[in-house]
Amino acid sequence: MTGMDSQRHPIVTESDVVRVRQVVRTLAVAAKLSLVDQTKMVTAASELARNTLVYGGGGEMMIDLVDSGRRRGVRAVFIDTGPGIPDLDLALTEGWTSGSGLGLGLTGSRRLVDEFAIDSSPGVGTTVRVVKWSR
């Protein structure tokens, strides 16, 4: 899997969440994702960007096109330096929610993408990496 020039977008305000959606849509179209897959990827990005803003206290998204040789895809990485998630397993349990919708954001967006990796340490921050491949 090789990446091409990666873009960096801050997630500091609510309107950044809207911009993230637009950027992800543009790259999803460029990767030739189907309309449904575009919608899934943009929705997942919207959830994750809001998590970054609300629970991570802001951060950024790195996004690029990836190529596995056979398929193209979009990769987005959401990074914050917030409080982190103390119990990742719990946060990724189906149906679990922190009370303000965090659970659905993580487990839900995991179902919307093809690859999902999360790394979080309390006090250091959270990084979520997602990839959606063209079919």
- Residues in contact with other proteins by CB under 8 A are 14-15, 17-18, 21-22, 25, 34-36, 38-40, 42-43, 46-47, 50, 70, 94-95, 101, 104-105, 107-109, 111-112, 135
Residue 95 or 123: which CB sits closer to other proteins?
Answer: 95
Q: In angstroms, what is the minimal distance from the CB of 124 to other proteins?
A: 26
Q: In angstroms, what is the minimal distance from the CB of 9 to other proteins?
A: 15
> Do 74 and 6 contact (CB within 8 A), yes or no?
no
Residue 12 or 124: which CB sits closer to other proteins?
Answer: 12
Give the C-alpha separation, 48 to 51, whole Å: 5
Cβ count within 10 A of residue 100 = 10
Helix (H, G, I), strand (E, B) or coil at 23: helix
Q: What is the dihedral of CA 33, 135, 72, 132, to 10 degrees?
A: 70
Q: In angstroms, what is the minimal distance from the CB of 87 to other proteins?
A: 20
